[in-house]
Amino acid sequence: MDGFSDLRFFALLMKEGSLAAAAQQMGLTAPAVSRRLALLEKRLGVRLLHRTTRRMRPTPEGETYLLEGARVLAELDALERTVSGARSTPRGLLRIAATLGFGRLLLAPALSAFARRYPEVELQLHLTDRPVNLVEQGFDAVVRFGELPDSRLTARKLMDNERVLCAAPAYLDAAGEPRTPADLLRHRCIVLREADETYGTWHLRQGDRQETVKVASPLSTNDGGAALAWALDGQGILLRSLWNVEDALHSGLLRPVLPTWKLPPADIYLVHPTRSELSAKTRALSEFLCEWFAR
């Protein structure tokens, strides 16, 4: 096997997480994949993986081979796109990651329309509440909320995303209406756990005033749909993106809480690696989604 083929093989092996899963993707048997890994390690003269019956993890040499190999493969792909003319025609596999709620409710319909416009693009949408490393996990693009943390990535804003506090009228009628952020401490609050970040700490601003409250959360979840269902059922006060609760607010099923106080925004971006020669499929996706959400 040539070096590029070996790099792609090892990247696939690490992405799938097991010999059996990689074998299924490649249409081979697990022993065949194991033999290929052994040949690769013999050719390089180093061990690339620590393996047990339950898991495998890369050695330091394996991590270097994986990360530097990803850069080499990206440069090769860019070269081949330039030579073959793929730069001008969106086609091939396009892997996208997004959060569960936004991905189901807003992104999936947009991607359905994108698929009709670009039938030569094969879409894979991965929805998760876990943090995603775009480069290491092999995604072409990720939809994320908030500021861009990595200067090696490029982001295009898809839509503004205001966050609001809200609750069912039945809950507010029974528990009373909070007048200040400190009043939240005596209320039941519904907390959404996202990306393993510290949760239940709410930051509010009114003009030059800023207050931080650690709320009581007898109900918490990692799923926005469940959190919204609890709020609608009168279980407490919810902090949620406006796109997710706007209909309920307009219909009166939920009422705003502390409407004169602002919460930190979490604008929504499409993020992709920064490359001088962006693939036609990723460029088409970026342009399409910006147009879609602008409407």
One fold for both 3-84 and 87-158+267-294? no
Q: Which CATH class is domain 3-84?
A: mainly alpha
Structural domain boundaries of the chain? Answer: 3-84, 87-158+267-294, 163-257
* Other Cβ atoms closer than 10 A to 143: 22
Read off φ and ψ for residue 81, nearest 5 degrees: -65, -40
Mind listing the pLDDT tens digit for each residue in 191-231? 987 654 557 889 999 988 999 999 888 898 888 889 999 99
Mind listing the pLDDT tens digit for each residue in 18-28? 888 888 888 88
DSSP string, 214-238: E---SEEES-HHHHHHHHHTT--EE
Mind listing the pLDDT tens digit for each residue in 217-273? 889 888 888 999 999 999 999 999 888 899 999 999 999 999 999 998 888 999 887
- Distance from C-alpha of 195 to C-alpha of 175, rounded to nearest angstrom: 31
Q: Which residues lie closer than 8 Å to 230 by C-beta, 6 or more apart?
A: 190, 219, 221, 236, 238
- Distance from C-alpha of 36 to C-alpha of 151, rounded to nearest angstrom: 36
Mind listing the pLDDT tens digit for each residue in 27-64? 888 888 889 888 888 888 888 888 776 678 888 888 88
Fold of 163-257: D-Maltodextrin-Binding Protein; domain 2 (3.40.190)
Domain 87-158+267-294: assigned CATH number: 3.40.190.10
HSE-CB for 152 with a 13 A CA cutoff: 6
